[in-house]
Structure 1
Amino acid sequence: MKVKLILPALAEAESPFWRPIKYSLFPPLGLATLAAYLSPDDEVDLQDQHVEVLHLDDHPDLVNKVSPVIARIFSPLVLVMLVIYLFAILYSGKNPYSDREFLIIFNLL
């Protein structure tokens, strides 16, 4: 499996004064430690945005396998919940922003 571990830089990290503070708070050794937990058969790509420009044009295996599954599960789920919410508002005739009990019931859903 291909795995990419990225240490992103904050906008402030572009300044040479911020860099020592950033590395003292979050040492870059963290990515190497995480990579050590992976299987020896895994192909690991470590990228540190402080050192190099990020290359996001590749496609790690986990993203290719998980993203379509998440989209297939949550897209219909969100659509069903939205339709139920809209029908409940139209049926009850209540305003969820002014009726506290109505809003609490939908928050529990």
Structure 2
Amino acid sequence: MPGRLTTHVLDTAQGRPAAGVTIEVWRCGASAAERVLLATLRTNADGRTDAPLLEGEQLRAGAYELVFLVGAYFATQPVECSDPPFLDRVPVRFAIADADAHYHVPLLVSPWSYTTYRGS
């Protein structure tokens, strides 16, 4: 199977997948000017995207950043949030060493905190 990048967003405030979160996928260069937007996707009812964020030849070794637009998501949810939101855009920067591998970058998030890790 070719390399691919996937995610799963879980709303820890409500204990369920976060449906409708917009995610930006960026390739990062040596400077901020070399940052390139590759894709913008939204999570489905399971908190995942319908297709991998990147796969095959789209996925290359190098630095990437996922930006999760959680402020807009939590604004539509029945949870207490501040105005402006404490967390609005959550960036997760990481590196791909093996473009033939599966990289899974989940986000567990509430209006007040988040965590991530390399999953499987």
- The TM-score normalised by the length of structure 2 is 0.21
Larger radius of gyration: 1
